[in-house]
A and B are shown apart, each in its own frame.
Chain A
Amino acid sequence: DVKVTQSSRYLVKRTGEKVFLECVQDMDHENMFWYRQDPGLGLRLIYFSYDVKMKEKGDIPEGYSVSREKKERFSLILESASTNQTSMYLCASSFVPGQNYGYTFGSGTRLTVV
């Protein structure tokens, strides 16, 4: 089974801190994605990457950046954390071109910014 591992299940950070969320997948997937999930809003795409060192903005990239130095690892960076970035963050990966299973998701990181 493909595994997508997010380094932390719960994080509490202070306003203004630089925050790193790490995601690793073990099946040589091309694509990796970062979403945030908020009640009533569903999953919203922050950034995605279709290859090493390649990145594309999603629907809500403001306040975030990403890094993909190796194929298996995709990091989400909150440059200066703010309380409105308190959310559940979900990492996912997928294989190109076969999309018959869509994404494989990690377990999520619940981030609280105080």
Chain B
Amino acid sequence: EDQVTQSPEALRLQEGESSSLNCSYTVSGLRGLFWYRQDPGKGPEFLFTLYSAGEEKEKERLKATLTKKESFLHITAPKPEDSATYLCAVQAKGDYKLSFGAGTTVTVRA
């Protein structure tokens, strides 16, 4: 069974204080690893897909990286508007569904 573990559960940052979120996974043949952002009371919003170890994707202050066992979401010089819950999910080859971690809630204080 696919498993996804995210850490830490919560992260409080000062504006401008860079940090990283971790997503550890086990899957029987990775098709893709996905990062989503979720604001309170809303559905998750797609950020990145990573397919193979060594791959990196960037969007504004966010950068996602992938190894064979984990992914990191780096937040560089965060702003208060980066406050959200960040979800990681994996999809196995030949599977339709995504398996999600419990998420990391990031709070950025001005």
Contact = CB atoms under 8 A, between A and B. Distances in A.
A30 to B, nearest CB: 9
B contact residues, range: 20 to 34
Interface in A63-114: 90, 92, 94, 96, 99-108, 110
A92 B46 CA distance: 11
B54 interface: no
Nearest to B88: A42
B45 A43 contact: no
Interface residues of A, number: 29
Interface of A: 4, 31, 33, 35, 40-45, 48, 50, 56, 58, 90, 92, 94, 96, 99-108, 110
Given A92-B43, A102-B32, A110-B41, 12 more contacts: A33-B97, A40-B102, A42-B100, A42-B102, A42-B103, A99-B32, A99-B91, A101-B46, A102-B34, A103-B44, A105-B36, A105-B45
